[in-house]
Amino acid sequence: MTFRNFNPVLEARNPVMFVTEISLFVSVAISAIPSYFGIPSSGRYEFFYITVTALIFLTLLFSNLGAAISEGKSRSITESLQKLTTESVAHLLKDGGMVDVTSSKLKKGEIIHVKKNEPIPIDGEIIRGSAYVNESNITGESRPILKVEGDAVTGSTILLSDGIDLRVTHMPGETFIDKMIDIVKGTTRSRTPNEIALNVLLSGLTLVFLIVVSAVFALSHFLQATVNVMVLVVLLISLIPTTIGGLLPAIGIASINMVSQFNIIAKSGRAVENAGDVDTIILDKTGTITMGEREAVRLIPNNGVSLEDLAQACYISSKDDSTREGMSILKLASSLGAKDQELNGYTYIPFSPETKISGVIGENTFVVKGALKALKEKYDISDKYIEAVCKEISSRGGTAIPVVRDGSFIGVIELNDMLKPGIRERIEELKKMEIKTIMCTGDDEVTAAYMARESGIEHFIANSTPIDKYNVVKEEKKNARMVAMVGDGTNDAPALAYADVGLAMNNGTPAAKEAANMIDLDNNPTKLIDLIFLGKQILITRGSLTAFSIANDLAKYFVIIPAAFSIFPKLDFLNLLGFTHPLTAITSALIFNTIIIIILIPLALRGVRFRPSSADEILRRNLLFYGLGGVITPFIAIYIIYVILLATGVVW
């Protein structure tokens, strides 16, 4: 891979290194036939020419090595994913029967049945049943995940419990794993806008110095002064920004690899880069701020209603509720004496973010549960005791779900959720970076205010609907802010698509995953915060190494220019280190120019350490460390190399 990148066609994508490669060809020609170029060809000069040629070759080699290491990591990820794409048997439901076909023959929209302990043959959405799925080959998480109706499942994962029916959501070759393979391939990585802009800057600098060196060559002829062509080659290599030019491909590919290490798939480098520029983050309460595993912990009956009566009503309203909260209500109601009951003559009303109500309706009766405000408005009812109970539960950070039967409140279900450990500290870190935080929750104002206060969130929107999330994204973008948000449902898709950084959960709906530009394989919404840190680290890495590269180029000018133009005594004032052997000084600078690339490769691949702080603080710190360090380091290093060369008898 390293030597393959020497191909001039591939190298041409990086103008700085392309010019370096042309310089290598020129230096080889000079070393072979110096007399043709009208320059000295004695033994000591020949050794100088060969040394320069070898150093330019090593500069190219080390540059390609960094990119090759990054691409090697991408290939290892790709190879591990390709092992998951083996064909399997699918049980296609067709014409009232079941037909076994290979997974490669399936089409989008077809219905298949998956049996216990079988691999799921292709990406799909559960339309009947619920079961535990082992996703360890995708996420690395050994604990099985409960999947219910409406949840997305990924091909190659293993069904561990009851059989389920799936609707195929992707054609073979277009599945989630297929897309992951395409994304992580280093060869298909598209350059980000910032990377393109930096490449244009480096190309411009390279062109300027090409013109400068050409002008020097022409000027020497005009003044009838002798200038060694090989010295001009060294001058060009030292003037152009070879350090950052050599590291840029490695940084770009490494950014995708770093995201992959977080078990996140970024659909583009732009998404990762956007994360570094985010200044508004929209967070769901459930699963992001809190643990996300709300469970029914208590039933509180209204005056004149027995606990057993309320438990039975809760059981009836939740029997067909396949959500995790619904299952926990069933479990609690059963433990309090509720009996299994056939719902003949009842119609189930599923929960929706718009209505915030679910339950069952019979011919002359109904039992529903939901948000207090929604129930009061829909049925035009009120109850001061129920409202007081809901307020008390909300004030403790719980979620109150009132239950209505035949137009009257009969009690309240208390759901409990806890703040995620360390979430307050993470929010404080975002504040240090001057990032605005907004929490969206379907809970009432009291619960929302409590959770915002406890977590340190600055702003919150209570009783929020999917359109509220979209409007928040729209409003923030209208104020020229970069917005990030997380979601997992079809109703989150518009906001995910409109946000600059949209992180979808792997267990989310196909619509959410298509709309987002990043997918979290571990289904951990808090990773949106990690993404922002990672994005900033990547931007800081590129900026820091660029500052260091340009700064050390500046230092090299003071070494090479007076040595290269020793024929012009008036330039002696630039010889700050007092070098008396021009060619040895030039060689010292070129050696430094070569070895600094391989020294910085680990930093380019790992990234510059990021500490949460404001943009001004980051800029000041990096200019001080990498800018000033980039000026001082070359002087010290080149002087040490020069002394070593003199001590070993390398004197020209």
- What pLDDT does 300 receive? 95
607: enclosing H helix or E strand: none
Q: Order across the sheet with 145-147: list the strands.
A: 145-147, 131-134, 158-159
Tokens 């991408």 locate to 74
pLDDT in tens, 56-94: 898 888 887 766 766 665 566 566 666 656 677 889 898
Strands (E) in 449-560, as ranges, are 459-461, 483-487, 501-505, 518-520
Rg value, the chain, Cα: 33
Q: How confident is the model over 226-235, as a mean pLDDT? A: 76
Whether the CA torsion 366, 369, 374, 376 is positive or negative: it is positive
Q: Order across the sheet with 97-102: list the strands.
A: 97-102, 89-94, 111-114, 164-168, 124-128, 152-153
The backbone torsions φ and ψ at residue 33, rounded to the nearest 5 degrees and listed phi first, read -135, 70
Query: For domain 295-416, which CATH number applies: 3.65.10.10, 1.10.620.20, 3.40.1110.10, 3.30.720.120?
Result: 3.40.1110.10
Q: How many residues are present in the chain? A: 652
Nearest to residue 268, comparing CAs of 280, 255, 277, 279?
Answer: 255
Given the residues 123, 151, 279, 284, select the one marked as catalytic.
Answer: 284
Q: Give residue 628's region: left, alpha or beta (phi > 0; psi -120 to 50).
A: alpha
Tokens 């020609």 locate to 29
Nearest to residue 190, comparing CAs of 245, 133, 267, 118?
Answer: 267
- What pLDDT does 565 receive? 62
- What pLDDT does 408 receive? 94
Query: Under 8 Å CB-to-CB from 487, ≥6 apart: which residues?
Result: 284, 469, 493, 495, 496, 502, 503, 504, 505, 508, 512, 516
61: enclosing H helix or E strand: helix 43-82
* Cβ burial 186-208 (10 Å sphere, 16+ → b, else e): beebebbebbeebbeebbebbee
Identify whether the C-beta of residue 564 lies closer than 8 Å to the C-beta of residue 258.
no
The backbone torsions φ and ψ at residue 251, rounded to the nearest 5 degrees and listed phi first, read -65, -45
Decide if pLDDT at 221 tops 70.
no
- What pLDDT does 277 receive? 83
Q: What is the CATH number of domain 279-291+419-521?
A: 3.40.50.1000
Q: How far is CA 520 from the centre of its chain?
A: 9
Identify whether the C-beta of residue 585 lies closer than 8 Å to the C-beta of residue 607.
no
pLDDT in tens, 276-334: 888 899 887 776 787 766 788 899 999 999 999 999 999 999 988 877 788 889 999 99
Please, what is the Cα angle at 241 between 240 and 242, to 5 degrees?
Answer: 95
- What pLDDT does 77 receive? 58
- Cα–Cα distance measured from residue 166 to residue 130, given in angstroms and rounded to the nearest whole number: 11
The backbone torsions φ and ψ at residue 53, rounded to the nearest 5 degrees and listed phi first, read -60, -45
Judge if pTM exceeds 0.75. no
- What pLDDT does 603 receive? 82
- What pLDDT does 186 receive? 46
pLDDT in tens, 91-115: 989 887 888 888 888 888 899 999 9
Say which amino acid occupies 639: Y
Nearest to residue 518, comparing CAs of 541, 497, 538, 533?
Answer: 497
C-alpha torsion angle, residues 377, 382, 383, 387 (rounded to 10): 40
Whether the CA torsion 138, 143, 147, 151 is positive or negative: it is negative
Give the pLDDT band (50/70/90) at residue 352.
confident
CA distances from 328 to 323, 331, 359 (A): 9, 5, 15
Domain residue spans of the chain:
4-77+183-257+538-647, 107-171, 279-291+419-521, 295-416
* Average pLDDT for the chain: 81
- What pLDDT does 411 receive? 96
CATH class of the domain whose range is 107-171: mainly beta
Q: How confident is the model over 579-604, as a mean pLDDT? A: 84
pLDDT in tens, 368-385: 999 999 999 999 999 999
Q: Which of 62-76, 150-164, 352-366 has the lowest mean pLDDT?
A: 62-76
- Cα–Cα distance measured from residue 231 to residue 307, given in angstroms and rounded to the nearest whole number: 93
- What pLDDT does 187 receive? 40
- Cα–Cα distance measured from residue 230 to residue 53, given in angstroms and rounded to the nearest whole number: 9
Q: How many CA atoms within 13 Å lie on the side-chain side of 47?
A: 8
Give the pLDDT band (50/70/90) at residue 360.
very high
- Catalytic residue list contains 277: no
- What pLDDT does 640 receive? 92
- What pLDDT does 419 receive? 78
